[in-house]
Amino acid sequence: MVDLVQKAADEGYAIFFLTGRPATQEEATLGNLTWTVSASTPAIRRRPR
């Protein structure tokens, strides 16, 4: 999955990660995505509550 995301980002696609996790797992979710996504991905943005 990481290779696919990186290839798409390298080709200029916007990458969106959607989860069904509840708000109580938000910190863990962001930690997982931050660890997985490479530095070339511009940012992780959350939907406002």
Give pLDDT tens digits for 14-46.
887 778 889 899 888 888 777 655 555 556 666
What's the whole-model pTM score? Answer: 0.46
What pLDDT is attached to residue 25? Answer: 92
**Of 44, 49, 23, residue with least CA distance to 33:** 44
The b-or-e profile of 36-47 (16+ CB within 10 A means b, else e) is ebeeebeeeeee
Measured between alpha carbons, how far is 4 from 17 in angstroms, rounded to an integer? 13
